[in-house]
Amino acid sequence: MFIASFPAGVWQTNCYLLATEPGAECVIVDPGMEALDTVVDVVAEHRLKPVAVVLTHGHLDHTFSVTPLCRSSDAACWIHVADRALLADPFAAMGPDAFALVERLAPGSTFVEPDTVHELTDGATIAVAGLELSALHAPGHTPGSTMFSLDLSSMPGPRTDVESLVLSGDVLFAGSIGRTDLPGGSSVDMLESLRTKVLPLPDAVAILPGHGPQTTMARERAHNPYLQAPYLQAPYLQDPSPRSPS
C-alpha cells in the first residue's frame, strides 16, 4: 500500500494520494488550495497515474483544486449528494472571512464542477485504482460530510497492527472534531455521527484526518474529549473549538 500526504495552502488541509504501490493508478483525496503543484510533483516522483478524486465534503479548503486536477488527469470526482452543489458554489457553506481570504489569495477565482461527478450515499463503495473505499456518511460539519474506510488486509506490503484506515475529513481530528457553526453545520447531526459512525470503528483503525496529525481510533476513544460520555450525553451541545477554520 502506498500513501502520501501533505498539508495544502493557508488552511493546511491534508491532501492524500493512495495507490496499491508506486507506479500504479492512484486516488487523490481532498485537493485543497495550492494542492495542484504538489500533487503533480508527488505523481511524477512515484510514477503514479491519477484516476479518481474523492472529496470528504464540499468545503473550499478541501475542494479548491478538484476541477483543474480532474481535467488535467481526465479523472472522475466522487462527493456525497448533499454537498455536490458546493462544487460550483462553495461560498454557500462558508463564512465571510473565507470569501475575503480567497479574494486576497486568489482574486477572481471562479468555481465549476469537474466534467465527471459521481454522487455518493451512505454505504457506497468506490472501486477504483485497485482500491475499495467504503463511504460512511457522517453529517454535522456539513450535510454531506463522509468518511472513507479502506481495508488494508489485502494490500501489498508487510502486515502491521493497523487493520484498516479511515479518511475522516473534518468529522474527527486528533483530540477534536469538526466545527458545526458554519452554514449547513449541525451539532445535533454531529453528535449522531459520533455515536453511530465514529464510536463503532475498531481500535485498530488508523485515522487520517482532514487537518492535523494522524491518529488511531484507540487513542481517540481514550483521550478525545468529544468521544467521552460528558459530551455525548449532554442535553445540549456547544460547538467545539476546531482545529480548522472551515
Which domains are assigned to the chain? 2-232 (3.60.15.10)
Regarding pTM above 0.75, the answer is yes
Could you report the per-residue pLDDT of 76-114, keeping only the tens digit for each? 999 999 999 999 999 999 877 887 888 888 888 889 999
Task: Measure the CA–CA gap between 138 and 170, rounded to whole angstroms.
Answer: 10
pLDDT single digits (tens) 36-79:
999 999 999 999 999 999 999 999 999 999 999 999 999 999 99
Q: How far apart are CA 177 and CA 168, in angstroms?
A: 10
pLDDT computed for residue 105 by the predictor:
85
Cell of 92: 454557500
pLDDT tens digits for range 116-169: 999 999 999 999 999 999 999 999 999 999 999 999 877 666 556 677 999 999
Confidence of residue 245 (pLDDT cuts 50, 70, 90): very low
CA-angle at 155, arms to 133 and 50, nearest 5°: 55
